[in-house]
Amino acid sequence: MATDTALACDLQRVLDAEGRKLPDAELPDLSPERMLQLYRAMVLMRALDHRMLGLQRMGRIGFFGSALGQEASVIGSGAALEPDDWVLPALRENGIMLLRGFPLDKYFAHMFGNALDVMKGRMQPMHFSGREVNQVSWSSCIANQLPQAVGVAYAMKLKGHKKVAMGFIGDGGTSEPDFANALNFAGVWQVPAVFVIQNNQWAISVPVEKQSASRSLAIKAVAYGMPGVRVDGNDVLAVYREVRKAVDRARAGGGPTLLELVTFRRGGHSSADDPSRYRNEQDAEPWERLDPVARFRAFLEGQGLWDDAQEAALEHEQRSAISAAVKGAEQAPLPGPETLLDDVYAVDPPVLDEQRALLRDELAQQ
């Protein structure tokens, strides 16, 4: 348990700003193949951001929330999980489901809200879900995914499952009652949960220093009887290392951990937001020099694992895959009205069968 408040304020790093390993830093236990997989996932996230913004500006999708500049926080956290663990994301963590193997065409289908979407077009864009990758959709009410993560973790503890639930939240969400409720119950029940704050400095238009007087957000963990760890969120190796420690601790029965990943939201809160209206864009310049993708690429190049030719091949490969996925997803039909009553119950009661028959009769008369 974190009893020394200073510990919650120390920033954990592996790489310097140029992507070189810091002299005393401990590298995480990652094979070269796994590091390259994480880099490809980060590059894919950035390519998807670019394509999604283009689709939104053309009116082909309605809404988009960018993760530009936060790729290391997302992929480093998701990589620390095992396939059977559960993810309860906020707005910007959907790169994790792609890292876990969710198909690109279904990913775009969700943005179009058509029949290929696993949720049959019932959720607004950016509310991804996928049972095949153990990801639960968020519902836009700020911070409510954290009590849900506690519930998932508590259920797994009761059943004796050696699984972990990971819940995400932004810096602004730490001022919500659900944040306090979730951490309090998690600490009392010692559930196998990991809470990840993506502190990207902005709660929509409110800077973090105007919504919390804490010296850090990680320090809030002390009040709930769990460790709090503050990490350079633009350093994917540091993120993976520290989140993996928290995941392993939770899986072993050691209880929950709160991690604050310090990063920066390079774009707007969403595609409907213009950050130049409320912040000085010069504030982004130091963070651009800490770009998580460029920083990790520099490290890989320094290790002899990456070069310009591989980068060009990856760019071509991902551009082709994204274009094919968009084309295939956009051509799918809208969900049929007969799906309206699907997924209401695990086993349909007789009354639902009657309603389904009435719906079929009504559709037949149109």
- What residues are labeled active site? 265, 269, 278
Our measurement of the distance from residue 355's CA atom to the centroid of its chain's CA atoms, rounded to an integer in Å, reads: 38
Q: Which of 211, 165, 202 is nearest to 186 (CA)?
A: 165
Identify whether the C-beta of residue 338 lies closer than 8 Å to the C-beta of residue 363: yes
What SS3 class is residue 339?
helix
- Which stretch of DSSP H or E encloses residue 100? none
Angle at 266 between CA 229 and CA 87, to 5 degrees: 50
Q: Which of 144, 146, 178, 137 is nearest to 165 (CA)?
A: 146
What are the tokens at 251? Answer: 């899986």
Task: Quote the CA–CA distance of 126 and 63 in Å, as a whole number.
Answer: 7
Identify whether the C-beta of residue 38 lies closer than 8 Å to the C-beta of residue 79: yes
What SS3 class is residue 2?
coil
Identify whether the C-beta of residue 338 lies closer than 8 Å to the C-beta of residue 276: no
Q: Which of 147, 136, 222 is nearest to 186 (CA)?
A: 147
Q: Which of 11, 49, 30 is nearest to 262 (CA)?
A: 11
What are the tokens at 89? Answer: 């994301």
Q: Which residue, chain included where needed, has tokens 């993506």?
A: 198
Q: How far apart are the first and last CA of the chain?
A: 64
